[in-house]
Amino acid sequence: METIYDHNPTKLEVEKIGYLPKELYLKLDADTKYRDLALLFNIRGDKKKMKHYISLVRDDMMRNSFFRTIYHP
């Protein structure tokens, strides 16, 4: 399963997403990993990749919460 760690996140990016030790992070569910990939690419300004990864999240509440978070004024 692809994670943020496959995209060489900076320390600051990891902190913005929500730091967990990598060993614990890798145990998270797929929806959380996809949401975090979407967050990573949102931070990097890559909206196309952000939309791709958030579309893979199956949990509607998580997906809706993501959009409320990034588009909240």
pLDDT digits (tens, 9 = 90+) for 11-60: 999 999 998 888 999 999 999 999 999 999 999 999 999 999 999 999 99
| Overall pTM > 0.85 | yes
As a whole number, mean pLDDT of residues 4-12 equals: 96
In a domain, 67, yes or no: yes
Domain count, the chain: 1
- Rounded Cα–Cα distance for residues 4 and 47 (Å): 16
Q: Which residues constitute the domain of residue 25?
A: 10-71
- List all residues 6 or more positions away from 46 whose beta carbon is below 8 Å from its beta carbon: none
42: left (phi over 0), alpha (psi -120 to 50) or beta: alpha
In a domain, 36, yes or no: yes
In a domain, 22, yes or no: yes
- Rounded Cα–Cα distance for residues 29 and 10 (Å): 22
In a domain, 44, yes or no: yes
- Rounded Cα–Cα distance for residues 72 and 5 (Å): 27
